[in-house]
Amino acid sequence: MTLHFKQLGHGEPLVLLHGLFGSGDNWFGVAPRLAEKFHVFAPDLRNHGYSPHHAEMGYPLMAADVEKFFLSQKIESAHVVGHSMGGKVAMQFALDFPARVKKLVVVDMAPRAYARAHDKIFAALLALDLASFQTHQQIEDALAPEIPSLSLRRFLLKNLGRDEHGKFIWKMNLRGVVENYSRLGEVLSAENQFDKPALFIRGGKSDYINTADEAEIRRRFPAAEIQAIAAANHWVHADTPEEFVRMVLEYLC
């Protein structure tokens, strides 16, 4: 699978992997700062953004997509940063292709299994008859009863596009993600270790990484450092961009 991507900057390669419902564009609040030091690549993972749709998802497949991306861009090795679902892809990639990763940064995600937490969102999105809407605002308003958070609705609706007739469509493969959702919550399948430098950044207000996760993180990633940004929720790089960039640059440079 050939992933769509954006790039900016010059220097050592730095690959940024986004989370569920996202795309490479999610990183562009912090990417310009990172691009002052690195050649930044921000791909859309399979079934997200403008990358191809496929009936199957799962971390070994998505890590293999990233390996193909490295080959296509002639990237021998790079620093890899992943958030949430992209953090698990980054971990799987480091475990499966350790020679490709110089330093690993995982943002608010552990290698364990996670309970289903997005079923209500999936149901709300699937219930929309996109062809019946004329404006973006109408869709945003239609989602409000089930998804009261305006910021979350606007984030989700970044996945909207229009077809050749001007009708709304999902850019992401919504049904494909839904059908593979259980696999996205699974524990990482690889049992080997990645012994190069790894930084796990957790949101101080998030429960995605807790104290009980630390032993498993260090078992899989023996050189791991775990740091928290106290003011951040799960979206660490959006909640506290300045502190996030500072922490990442101090670790990578």
Instruction: Judge whether residue 85 has pLDDT over 90.
Output: yes
Nearest to 90 by CA among 113, 67, 112: 67
Q: What is the pLDDT of residues 169-220, one digit of tens each?
A: 999 999 999 999 999 999 998 779 999 999 999 999 999 999 999 999 999 9
Query: Beta strands 78-83 and 12-17: pairing type?
Result: parallel
Is 165 noted as a catalytic residue in this protein? Answer: no
pLDDT the model gives residue 138: 97
Pairing of strands 12-17, 38-43: parallel
Q: Which runs of consecutive H residues, i.e. helices, occur in the chain?
A: 31-34, 59-72, 85-96, 119-126, 136-143, 150-156, 174-179, 181-184, 214-220, 236-239, 241-252
pLDDT at 6: 98
Q: What is the mean pLDDT of the chain?
A: 96
- Which residue among the candidates 18, 23, 83, 84 is catalytic per the annotation? 84
Reduce the DSSP state of residue 154 to 3 states and report it: helix
Summarised one tens digit per residue, pLDDT across range 126-140 is: 999 999 999 999 999
CATH number of 5-114+185-252: 3.40.50.1820
- Look up residue 244 and give its two tokens: 């996030």
- Do β-strands 168-170 and 198-203 pair in parallel, antiparallel, or remain unpaired? unpaired
Q: How far is CA 207 from CA 32, 118, 217, 236, 241, in A?
A: 29, 15, 15, 12, 19
Closest CA to 194 of 104, 110, 63: 104
| pTM score over 0.85 | yes
Question: What per-residue confidence (pLDDT) applies to 210?
Answer: 94
Taking the domains of the chain in order of start, what are their residue ranges?
5-114+185-252, 119-179
Asked if 84 is an active-site residue, the reply is: yes
